[in-house]
Structure 1
Amino acid sequence: MKEDVPRPVRIAVGLWLANAVFVVFTTAGLWFQRGEVQRLTNWTSGQVTSFLTTLSVVALVFVAAYVWLTRLFLKRKNWPRIVLSFIAVLHMIWILFLGVSASNLVTLLLICAAIVFTWQARTAQWLAEVREQ
Structure 2
Amino acid sequence: MKEQEAPRPIRIAVGLWLAIAVFVLFVTGGLWFQRGQVQELTKWTSGQVTSFLVTLTVVAVIFAAAYAWLTRLFLRRRRWARIALSVIAIVHMLWLLVLGISAANLVTLLLICVAIVFTWQPRAAQWFAEVRDE
TM range (shorter): over 0.9
- In the TM superposition, 1:58-97 aligns within 5 A as 58-97=59-98
Spell out structure 1 runs of 4+ moving beyond 3 A. none
State the identity as a percent: 71
Give the match for residue 52 of structure 1. Answer: 53
CA RMSD of aligned residues (A): 0.8
Partner-residue secondary structure (3-state), 1:22: helix
Q: TM-score, normalised by structure 1?
A: 0.98
Q: Is residue 126 from structure 1 mapped to residue 127 from structure 2 by the alignment?
A: yes
Offset at residue 18 of structure 1 (A): 0.4
Q: Quick check: 1:33 aligned with 2:30?
A: no
CA shift for structure 1 position 59: 0.7
d(CA) in 2 for partners of 1:22 and 1:121?
27
| Structure 2 residue identity aligned to 1:76 | R
* Structure 2 match to 1:43: 44
> Which consecutive residues of structure 2, in runs of 5 or more, have no partner in the other structure?
none
Structure 1: segments with no counterpart, 5+ residues: none
Letter of the 1:34 partner, please give it.
R
Q: Distance in 1 between matches of 2:72 and 2:96?
A: 24
Q: Aligned partners of 1:3 and 1:81: how far apart in 2?
A: 18
Q: Are 2:10 and 2:118, in contact at CA under 8 Å, matched by a contact in 1?
A: yes
Count of residues in correspondence between the two structures: 133
1:16 aligns with 17
